[in-house]
Amino acid sequence: MHASLLIALHHLRRTLRSPGLILVLMAIPLTIAGIEYAAFGRSVATGKLPPVKVLVMDEDSSFASGFVKQFLSAGPAKDRFEVSDAGGLDGAREQFSKGNASALIVIPKGFQQALLEGRQTDLILYKNPTQSIYPEIADSVLDIAVSVGNGLIAQARQPLDQLRKLSDEGRRPTDAEVSAISTAAYRAGERLAALGALQGIAIDVQRPSRGSEKTTGGSPMGAFFGTIFPGLVLFALLFISEALALRLLRDRTRGLQRRLMMACVSRVAIAVGGVIYVVTGLLAILALLGLVGHLLFAIEIRSPAGLALIGLGFALFAAGLQMAIASLARSERGVQAVVGGVVMMVSLIGGSFVPLESYPPFLRAIGLLTPNGAAQRAMVDLIVNAQPFAHVLPSVATVWCWGIVVLAAAVILDRRRRDA
C-alpha cells in the first residue's frame, strides 16, 4: 500500500507541474454556466424571465387606448413587457429587423368608441418573424390580458348601457335613473375592487422535509444554477479523467511501468496507485469546482459529506472507465477517439445538458440508471431540494454500483492485456 501511495503522489506532482490541459477542461462547466448567467442571471435572481420587448402603436389616442398602454407599461404586465413607442409601421419593421422588439401591438382607431357602444373591437398583434419564443410569450400574456379586460367590461356593462341609452335619446336623466346608474356603477366598482385582491395571492410551496415557504413564483439564482451545474461538472470530470489517465497510458507505452516492476514493485501496487491518483485528482477538482460554483453562482453547498460520497463513487466509475478503455486501445489516439464517443453518449443519456425531467418517461428511466444521471439527481436533491441523505441513497447506490463494476472490469481487462 505504501508503494501505491508513493506512485499516486508521484503522478499528482507531475500533474501539478503541468496542469494546463486540466485547467482548460475545468473551464468547460464554468464557461457554459457563465454564458447562461450572462443570458439569464439577472432575471433568474428575481425568479422571472427577461421582459419581452413590445412596441405599441396607438391610432386611437383615447382614454381607453391610454389605459391599455398603462396596463402594459405600469400595470400588472409591467414585469412581463418592456414597452416603447413603435413610431409607425416602418419604425416597427426596422426594430424587428434589428431584433430590438419581439412584437407590435396596434390599438386601432375607434377603439374607445367601440367599447362604449358595446361593439367588438380588436387589438392587433404583429409578431417578429425572426424570433420564436418571445413573440409567443407576448401573445399568451396579451390573450390573458384581453380576457381579463373583457371580464372587467362585462362587470361594468349595465351602467355603461344605461349611459349610452340616455346619450342616444338626447335627454336629461330622471332622479330615479340617476340613482339606478349610480347604484349599478357602485356595485360594479365593488366587484372590480375585489379583483384587486388577486395581486396579493402568494403560493404556498410544499417541499418534503422542509415545511413550507411563501413565494410569488420563480426561484433564486442559486437554485437555478444548482440544478444545471452538477450535470456540467460531471461532464467535465469525465473528460478530465481522460487527461489524468492518459498520463498512465504514456507511462506504460514509454516503459515506466516495466522499470517499476523491475524495481520489485508489484503490478497490483502500480494499478492501485494509478486508481488512487485518478480518484484523488477528480475529487480535488470536484471540490474546487463546487467552491467556485458557490462563490460565483450562489450555489448553496448542503450535506458536504453526502456530496463527497457521491463524488467518490463517480470518481471510481470515471477511473475504471478510462482504465478499461486504455486496456483495450492500442494507442493514445485510439483512447481519445473512444473516450470522446463514450463520454458524449453517457452525458446525453444521463442528462448532463438537458434536465432528465424533460425526457420522455422511457428515456428518463434509462437516464436515472446511468452513473452521471444518478449522481446528478442525487446532487440536485441535496443541494436544491434539501432532501435528507436517506432520500438519495438509491441514486448513490446506483453510482457506487457502476463505480465498483466498471473498476473491476478495468482490472480484469488490464490483467488480460498484460498476460497476452
Strand residues in 99-230 grouped as ranges (E): 103-107, 124-127, 203-207, 211-215
Percent of the chain residues past pLDDT 90, beyond the cut = 15
Residues 25-62 as b or e (16 or more Cβ within 10 Å = b): bbebbbebbeebbeeebebbbeeeeebbbbbbbbebeb
Give 74-132 pLDDT, tens digit per residue.
666 666 778 888 888 888 898 888 888 889 999 999 888 887 677 778 888 999 888 87
Give 131-148 pLDDT, tens digit per residue.
877 888 888 877 877 776
Q: In whole angstroms, give the CA distance from residue 367 to residue 297.
A: 26
Least confident of 103-107, 265-269, 274-278, 303-307: 265-269
Q: In whole angstroms, give the CA distance from residue 350 to residue 345.
A: 8
Percent of the chain residues past pLDDT 70, beyond the cut = 74
Q: Pick the residue with more confidence: 211 or 60?
A: 60
- pLDDT of 185 > 70? The answer is no
What does the angle CA 335 – CA 339 – CA 345 come to, to the nearest 5 degrees? Answer: 155
Do the Cβ atoms of 383 and 299 come closer than 8 Å? Answer: yes
pLDDT at position 200: 54
- pLDDT of 406 > 50? The answer is yes
- pLDDT of 203 > 80? The answer is no
Give 315-353 pLDDT, tens digit per residue.
999 988 988 887 777 677 777 778 788 888 888 898 887
The domain limits of the chain are 2-42+219-419, 49-206
Q: Report the range out of 65-69, 199-203, 376-380 with the highest average pLDDT.
A: 376-380
SS (H, E, C) 261-296: HHCCCCHHHHHHHHHHHHHHHHHHHHHHHHHHHHHH
Which 3 state secondary structure label does DSSP give 120?
coil
User: Shortest CA distance to 108 belongs to which of 142, 146, 72, 65?
Assistant: 65
What residues have CB less than 8 Å from 162, skipping those under 6 apart? 177, 180, 181, 184
Note the CATH number of domain 49-206.
3.40.1710
Q: Pick the residue with more confidence: 202 or 360?
A: 360
User: Shortest CA distance to 27 belongs to which of 175, 245, 223, 240?
Assistant: 240
DSSP state of 351: T
User: Shortest CA distance to 357 belongs to which of 344, 367, 348, 347?
Assistant: 367
pLDDT confidence bin for 220, thresholds 50/70/90 = low
- pLDDT of 47 > 60? The answer is no
pLDDT confidence bin for 308, thresholds 50/70/90 = very high
Q: Span 220-240, mean pLDDT? A: 80
**Sign (positive or negative) of CA dihedral 405, 410, 411, 412:** positive
pLDDT at position 210: 43
pLDDT confidence bin for 154, thresholds 50/70/90 = low
Q: Give the cell for residue 335.
A: 483512447
Q: Span 168-187, mean pLDDT? A: 70
pLDDT at position 344: 87
Do the Cβ atoms of 399 and 346 come closer than 8 Å? Answer: no
Which 3 state secondary structure label does DSSP give 176?
helix
Q: In whole angstroms, give the CA distance from residue 72 to residue 68.
A: 6
Q: In whole angstroms, give the CA distance from residue 232 to residue 227.
A: 10
Q: Pick the residue with more confidence: 297 or 193?
A: 297
Least confident of 42-51, 191-200, 288-297, 304-313: 191-200
pLDDT at position 376: 92
pTM, rounded to two decimals: 0.64
pLDDT at position 263: 60
pLDDT at position 226: 78
What residues have CB less than 8 Å from 223, skipping those under 6 apart? 384
pLDDT confidence bin for 214, thresholds 50/70/90 = very low
pLDDT at position 186: 62
- pLDDT of 399 > 90? The answer is yes
pLDDT at position 256: 63
- pLDDT of 183 > 70? The answer is yes
| Length in residues, the chain | 420
Give 30-44 pLDDT, tens digit per residue.
887 777 666 665 555
Average pLDDT score, the chain: 78
| C-alpha separations of 125 from 92, 108, 113, 132, 152 in Å | 12, 11, 20, 15, 21
pLDDT at position 166: 65
Q: Give the cell for residue 97.
A: 429587423
pLDDT at position 202: 52
